[in-house]
Amino acid sequence: MKSDKNDFSISSEEIEYIIAALNLFITNNIDGISQEKKHDDNIIALSALRKLNARETVKSGEEYRVMLAALYYFLITVNRSITPICTVEFKQEAQNKLAVINYLISKIERLIHANGN
């Protein structure tokens, strides 16, 4: 995937993380977001999801904004899944996921900032 101002190249695995985040975002109500706003965001998320599934370029600043919100929601969800009673393997897998999610958040934030969105 490429943007107009910056390269936004990500691996297939990273695309799968964004797809998972968007799916989670779409299928859940999120505290603090009105139903109208969530509906609008879901429409944008579905557009981004279609592009990612087809391995097409995401160009819209709104799509990047919703992808970023979805990744933050995914980050919170993964963080909440780590409890003291989790196995070491589960905690390690979760930490690996968190590293990828944080990397993608940083990358999309830089892209949004560079494009003035």
Q: Are 84 and 35 in contact (CB under 8 A)?
A: no
Q: For residue 58, give the DSSP letter.
A: P
Q: Are 19 and 52 in contact (CB under 8 A)?
A: yes
pLDDT digits (tens, 9 = 90+) for 21-52: 999 999 998 888 899 999 999 999 999 999 99
What's the pTM?
Answer: 0.86
Residue found by looking up tokens 């990500």 in the block: 10
What gap in Å lies between CA 23 and CA 48, rounded to an integer? 11
